[in-house]
Structure 1
């Protein structure tokens, strides 16, 4: 058996195996969520996308859903030949809001590879809150 073929095949297989065993964290849509003066802020790091084509943000009741389509392609040309590799997929994240919000009030921006979604939170009226008594049986 030709050792050059083995080495070449081994190097082609190494990267996908490494990603499989280490867990490819790039396949998950990671988000950061925090409150900023009555607004829920959700940030997602999604570099290399076109937000007008690749991002869908929907609000249904108290569910905010962010969906991102990502495609990446690389080509390597060398004296040993040509290799093309591509990765693509659709990744999404659902966030449960503390209550329903008006979709017209939700704002989204994309800058320097970071998607930021701002959702005004409903006023939490404490006058309707009451203590529920517990009876012993």
Structure 2
């Protein structure tokens, strides 16, 4: 059993702080915002503390955008009375429907300041394209 007499009161409150920050366990989803910028779907995913070259995978399949990230975090606390080490890790996945007609080769992704931004342009419908009326039959 751990000797709690070597822990400071702030050490005992650390799990509570992480829980209130939504950080106690790694969630299986990524916080995202999505919006339209003209004809482009913009998805911004909050993924701080990762290396975009090796920890993020952005893919497209069956009209869906998939964002997968893995994160590992380690902290160490050293003091005269003891040593404490914590680590947290997990993988995250978020899938979002792409706009109709979006092409995989037109989708771009960038990472800056802990935010992954994915842009998926949708083709613009040709102006004056005739609308085809569908007949409704009575059953």
Query: Given that residues 40 and 119 in structure 2 are in contact (C-alpha distance below 8 angstroms), is that contact kept between their aligned partners in structure 1?
Result: yes
Give the alignment partner of residue 22 of structure 2, picking from 10, 24, 46. Answer: 24
Compared CA separation, residues 132 and 90, structure 1 to 2 (3 A): farther
Tell me the TM-score normalized by structure 1.
0.77
Residue 5, structure 1, aligned to residue 7, structure 2? no
Question: In the alignment, what sits opposite 1:68?
Answer: 69
- List structure 1 runs of 4+ shifted beyond 6 angstroms: none
- Output the CA distance in 2 between the equivalents of 1:18 and 1:44: 23
The 5-angstrom pairing of residues 22-61 of structure 1 reads 22=20, 24=22, 27=27, 28-61=29-62
Could you say what the CA RMSD is over the residues aligned between the two structures, in angstroms?
Answer: 3.0
Question: Deviation of residue 14 (structure 1)?
Answer: 4.6
Query: Given that residues 61 and 101 in structure 1 are in contact (C-alpha distance below 8 angstroms), is that contact kept between their aligned partners in structure 2?
Result: no
Question: Deviation of residue 98 (structure 1)?
Answer: 3.1
Query: Given that residues 71 and 91 in structure 2 are in contact (C-alpha distance below 8 angstroms), is that contact kept between their aligned partners in structure 1?
Result: yes
Tell me the TM-score normalized by structure 2.
0.76
For structure 1, the residue ranges without an aligned partner over 5 or more in a row are none
Question: Deviation of residue 86 (structure 1)?
Answer: 0.5
Deviates more, 1:64-73 or 1:115-124: 115-124
How many corresponding residue pairs?
Answer: 132
Larger helix fraction of residues: 1
Deviates more, 1:27-36 or 1:8-17: 8-17
